[in-house]
Amino acid sequence: MTKSVYKYISEAWKRPYHGEVKEINRERLVQWRHEPTFVRMERPLRLDRARALGYRAKQGYVIVRAKVRMGSLRKRAIRKGRRAKRKGIIRMRVQKNLQRIAEERTAKRHSNMEVLNSYLVGEDGKHKFYEVILVDPHHPSIVNDPKINWIHERQHTGRVHRGLTSAGKRSRGLMSKGMGAEKVRPSVSAHKHAKRPGKRIRFS
């Protein structure tokens, strides 16, 4: 049985730290570190992954490579008025994953586009690099395409900032169902601020 080109690409990217992909990425990362945070690409690096997430080689689609610094938040030290435990500098964890942060920053820079999805293309000891698929919802080729013209509708405006991409749903816990995931729908904050029934008073 013959394999398609997409099958060979996906098999090579299953082990990105071995073989040819490792050697190629090592040269790429040296160049990517010195480039700007957002770089518009002519074509996707992982063509199989891009097409699986909805990318098509036609007008209205844009690929942007975004760079995100790894690790937790960095905060400036408070010089007085608090003990070290209450300064709030270290262990400032972010609830969002880095992929969702990359999508939101890319959408903020390209405000006339909507984020369709994204995927990882490389990482080093300091940064992670994602390719973000952007769609122009007002482009004629997008409006006239029945497979993607849903993004032109009003309710999909700013979908990345509401956690509606795959990375957003993953960080919100919506990828899991059943036991242990009872309080993730409709949202964690909805359960956190829900009114609890008061304690009953018994009269003797």
Angstrom CA distances, 184 to 70, 108, 126, 188, 194, stand at 26, 27, 31, 5, 13
Note the pLDDT of residue 203. Answer: 62
Q: Do residues 145 and 156 lie in contact, with contact meaning Cβ atoms separated by under 8 Å?
A: no
Rounded to 10 degrees, what is the CA torsion of 12, 16, 17, 23?
A: 70
Q: Do residues 172 and 187 lie in contact, with contact meaning Cβ atoms separated by under 8 Å?
A: yes
Whole-prediction pTM = 0.84
Domains present along the chain, CATH in parentheses: 37-176+183-192 (3.40.1120.10)
Distance CA 182, CA 74 (A): 33
Distance CA 29, CA 61 (A): 25
pLDDT tens readout for residues 122-137: 998 899 999 999 999 9
Note the pLDDT of residue 138. Answer: 95
pLDDT tens readout for residues 6-16: 888 888 888 88
Note the pLDDT of residue 101. Answer: 95
Note the pLDDT of residue 141. Answer: 95
Q: Do residues 33 and 127 lie in contact, with contact meaning Cβ atoms separated by under 8 Å?
A: yes
Low-confidence ranges of the chain (pLDDT < 70): 1, 195-204
